[in-house]
Amino acid sequence: MYETKYHHTDLSNQKILITGGAGFIGSHLVEYLLKFGAEKVRVIDNFMTGRRENIDLFINNPRFEFIEGDICNKADCDRACDGMNALLHQAALGSVPRSIKDPVATNRINVDGFLTMMVAARDAGIQRVVYASSSSVYGDHPGLPKVEDKIGKQLSPYAVSKYTNELYAHVFGLNYGMKIIGLRYFNIFGPRQDPNGQYAAVIPKWIDMIKKNERPVINGDGSNTRDFTFVENAVQANIKAMCTDNESAFGQIYNIACGNQFSLMDLFNSLKEIIGSNIEPVFGPNREGDISQSLADVNKAKTLLKYNPSFAFNEGLKITVRK
């Protein structure tokens, strides 16, 4: 992957910390930055949801450094931030259903951990911070497509935690002069996304099941929609946010998606066709805390970050299935 270069600045003097770098999106950021010559890429991860095999891909690269640590631990955060130029904060406890089952864990990692890492970044003199937010922040706002400055009431502890990150990022930029950018991810998918476990994301889980000739469960009647976004588009957004010299871009939040809407039945039928299966799904109840319709307006990111999602839904699915 990563034939395309998304930055125009010199990375050879950049030391970049990626929290959650053993995870799905984080490991793709590591891959990109090492490929394009960053001086140092340091990862902190505690393997709660990240995977060691993702780190094994880079462990022999002399420009890669790994710290097994917890973003809720101030000493670990201080050690991770020491000497770094930029922070890409991807570490979080994902999943709306998991947050409903265990809101305390979600808050501890996503809110306390975020704040602890931001304080460590501030104390280490890190000016550039890009962090992962979520489309779940839009909550019950009915408008489509989703526009950054129009949100409703959040529908899950996970959504609350991500909105809290946005509020903290705003006040850190305001009070400490840090150049912070938030990215609201819309259903990112791609290689290295874990198909296993109770809270696995839908695309890797369905690919795994269809390949095994097992019938996936569709929550609801299949009409719920998502703006499914291939991981390389998310990498592009992070890199452009980290490298931008547009002063108007800082202190902002951006939708990161493709600006296209696909239903769960669209997804299922596309995967069936790509894999070559004639399996049929099982229909179950809607998931608690889920929004029914999702579609992003990505014009703000296009304008201020020069973001240009280059991987379409079906192309991304084919790459993901092949991997």
**If 0-12 CB within 10 Å is exposed, 13-18 middle and 19+ buried, where does residue 203 land?**
buried
Instruction: At 58, list the tokens.
Output: 């880079």
Q: Which of 254, 249, 282 shows the shortest CA–CA distance to 268?
A: 282
CA distance 254 to 249: 9
Contact 28, 190 (CB under 8 A): yes
- CB neighbour list of residue 18: distance below 8 Å, 6 or more residues apart: 26, 29, 30, 33, 41, 42, 43, 44, 87, 88, 90
Q: Which of 158, 163, 254, 307 is catalytic?
A: 158
Sign of CA dihedral 305, 237, 44, 31: negative
CA distance 125 to 14: 14
Please indicate whether residue 158 is annotated as part of the active site. Answer: yes
CA–chain centroid gap for 240, Å, is 15
Reported as half-sphere exposure (CB side, CA atoms, 13 A), residue 164 has a value of 18
Q: Quick one: DSSP state of residue 296?
A: B
Q: Which of 86, 91, 45, 41 shows the shortest CA–CA distance to 63?
A: 41
Sign of CA dihedral 244, 247, 248, 249: positive
CA distance 14 to 38: 6
Q: Which of 24, 61, 21, 20 shows the shortest CA–CA distance to 39?
A: 61
* Catalytic positions: 158
